[in-house]
Structure 1
């Protein structure tokens, strides 16, 4: 039996006197696709920072691939994509190929040469996200959605087993959002990459994700998506602390 990719056991974190997360238990297994949802300020991004080792928990234990997070050194196993398209400097002088190739740095080290097959790895990563024809374009010439696909290719170049995305569709228009999520679904199904996705669009990704975690300082729900979808709207509103509005795409929005 393989070790879980992520295990959080009774994890808490505070910013000064303010509790950000309290008593978090969460396990992510190989090949799962998790949607992490919750209201603004609920601790979702803090949860991601804890998983990535950017901050240390006040209490509790975090294990990555069966090892204590403080001892985890195989960073290439985890790809990370943030809200980059919302703040990316379009004047940055780099091609798509150069941006994706820079993802090898965490495996080779900052001052080491790229491997001989670096260009092949770049081509494979771009093909995985449908961006191979843009390899020699300037990154600043692309749309927000195209840039995010490039950043995912950058995360994929080291062949990670886990992909962590913190609201990656910020800056992507609604028209292209579903195709972006469909691409994530293909990566999960066809390449077996486990995905942890922070999103406000749980209904948009409902047919893609396997599990849902609802975070609002503590975890109010975590489990299979089918079980989450059966929860009454009143219960979901209690988790969020306010009424939850569900959007049915292709029709008018309706209150949950």
Structure 2
């Protein structure tokens, strides 16, 4: 039986008087490739902050790797890649290798020296995303898709067991999106990294995912991708209050 890496039980959260999440129950097991679907304002960002330990639930319980989140010490087991394209300073004076190496601080601690095999770890992380030949290139010289691969390598260098990607195709041209999803599928299958892919554009989600969760303040569906495909378009539109294109 596969082990649960994330288990949320009846979790609710609100900002002052605005309830954002209500009675969320969600289970992510090792090896899953989960697409978390939701429009702007559906609570996706808040859900991520709860998993990452940046917020605490008002009610309910969160377990990470079988341990209560309040006592969980191995945050380096969870890698996180945010939307970066619109906010990233392309003039930042750092090489690809330096950017990826900075991800080791999560594993070693901010003020501790890097491991002796740091360069080897950086090389393997870049190779995993097909960017090893760009190690000496300035990060600002890369395309949006290449930069995003580098930021994934930065998350991978700490050797996480779970990788969370928040709308990672922002800033990537349409032609390169499928190649990007091929890379994620390779990491999921070949490197056995459990993944949560957060998106609001359900039309471009790859068929490579294994599970789907539909979020709009509460979880309307959570299950296998094949089961999600049997749900009617009318039902999905009702969950979100307007027309939403299904995964194809």
Fold similarity call, TM over 0.5:
yes
Aligned to 1:191: 191
Q: Superposition RMSD on alpha carbons, in Å?
A: 1.3
1:186-225 per-position Cα deviation (integer Å, ceiling 9, x unaligned): 1001011000010134443342100000000000000000
Aligned to 2:5: 5
Aligned to 1:243: 243
Return the offset for 1:231.
0.3
Indicate the SS of the match to 2:85.
Answer: helix
Conserved 8 A contact 2:205-2:247: no
Aligned to 1:73: 73
Conserved 8 A contact 2:9-2:24: yes
Q: Number of residue pairs matched? A: 248
* TM-score in terms of structure 2 length: 0.97
Q: Which moved more, 1:230-239 or 1:193-202?
A: 193-202
d(CA) in 1 for partners of 2:111, 2:203:
44
1:143-194 per-position Cα deviation (integer Å, ceiling 9, x unaligned): 1111110000010011111001111111112111111111101100101100
d(CA) in 2 for partners of 1:159, 1:37:
26
Instruction: Say yes or no: does 1:143 pair with 2:143.
Output: yes
Structure 2 unaligned residues grouped into runs of 5+: none
Aligned to 2:105: 105
Indicate the SS of the match to 1:86.
Answer: coil
Conserved 8 A contact 1:13-1:59: yes
Distance of aligned partners of 1:220 and 1:246 in 2 relative to their CA distance in 1, 3 Å threshold: closer
Instruction: Say yes or no: does 1:31 pair with 2:31.
Output: yes
Aligned to 2:130: 130
Structure 1 unaligned residues grouped into runs of 5+: 249-256
Aligned to 1:157: 157
d(CA) in 2 for partners of 1:70, 1:219:
23
d(CA) in 2 for partners of 1:247, 1:190:
24
Indicate the SS of the match to 1:148.
Answer: helix
Q: Which moved more, 1:175-184 or 1:150-159?
A: 175-184
Conserved 8 A contact 1:86-1:144: no
Instruction: Say yes or no: does 1:222 pair with 2:222.
Output: yes
Indicate the SS of the match to 1:55.
Answer: coil
Return the offset for 1:14.
0.4
d(CA) in 2 for partners of 1:157, 1:37:
27
